[in-house]
Structure 1
């Protein structure tokens, strides 16, 4: 199976938006109201916002392809682009999503490995991410890969205050 991970460029912002909306809805719509989902995605995945995020020097987006089919994406942040100051000298995985049609093929592991490689290249000592406390498949996945919960924070899905668990993986 030919798997490729490629940096997303500015011209691919509409493709990024479409995949973001699709994977976010697939992941969270069953456990959230349509109103709260719409309130969140209409803000988080606006074309202008995504285009601005693509321009940030300390953020990088990647598409993952399998057999030339777009299967998911990853967003990593370092330094000032991180959404929170969780760990010293860390890289943040802000978004990691695999299209439901491609789950179970090891693509999530490949994206995590990509993030770890970037962290190591930039001499970071850890990688961290936030994951919704009710997203059991993701929690199990991250734990299996050596991430440990260190704290939590509030995440607003529309008017619903939810809890994200903050998980860190220390690098050798």
Structure 2
């Protein structure tokens, strides 16, 4: 376990954790994002949190994938990928905040903020000058959180998943100098 604070720890995810990951993300992702999908998110869950995809995620070079624990309870996930170029700033050594999801019951406790600061400090110590992420442009709470953490929008694009309602496919690419 990696201590982020007195109450927040990270546990690396292994392939043996696939069922636990799927169950946790069904609890966290679907209530917040099912409205985006024609099938209420079933296809996405089965694609992203399948055994085969977890194998690919764990094999991604320079990738760290964790369960987030708050007071010994698994309440989310965090995935970072180091040395991933930000399209808008190709000359900067960048890392990507690939996934951060927390159980909404734990929002407002400073957990997300602590995780972001921990990631920024770790990545800066590894020589990265930018941390970037992708966020759905209609998820206002998430965008407000990232903006409060000093992330700036640097690009836009659309998701190419056909099962997402077309009007909800917009994405922002956001970054922060670290």
**What TM-score, normalized by structure 1, do the two folds share?**
0.87
Change in 2 beyond 3 A, CA 1:83/1:170: closer
Structure 2: distance between partners of 1:32 and 1:159? 5
Distance 1:89 1:145, change over 3 A: same
Alignment CA distance shift 1:159-1:71 (3 Å) = closer
Q: Give secondary structure in 1 for the equivalent of 2:61.
A: coil
Q: Which residue of 1 aligns with 2:125?
A: 121
* Counterpart position of 2:136: 132
Find the aligned partners of 1:50 and 1:20 in 2 and give their Cα distance: 13
User: Which whole-Å CA distance do the structure 2 matches of 1:15 and 1:86 have between them?
Assistant: 36
Deviation, structure 1 residue 147: 0.2
Q: 1:8/1:83 Cα in 2 relative to 1: closer, same or farther (>3 Å)?
A: farther
Cα distance between partner residues in 2 of 1:114 and 1:2? 13
Q: Deviations over 1:139-158 (max 9, x none)?
A: 00000001000011111342
Q: Within 5 A, what are the aligned runs for 1:15-30?
A: 15-29=20-34
Question: Map of 1:144-163 to 2, 5 A cutoff?
Answer: 144-157=148-161, 158-161=163-166, 162-163=169-170
What residue number does 1:78 align with?
Answer: 82
Structure 1 pair 86/5, CA: closer, same or farther in 2 (3 Å)? farther
Cα RMSD (Å) of the superposition? Answer: 2.0
- Unaligned 5+ segments in structure 2 are 1-5
SS in structure 1 at match of 2:79:
strand
Give the superposition deviation at 1:5.
2.1
Paired position in structure 1 for 2:3? none
> Which sits farther off after the overlay, 142-151 or 102-111?
102-111
Q: How far did residue 92 of structure 1 move?
A: 0.3
- The worse-fitting range, judged by mean Cα deviation, of 114-123 and 138-147 is 114-123
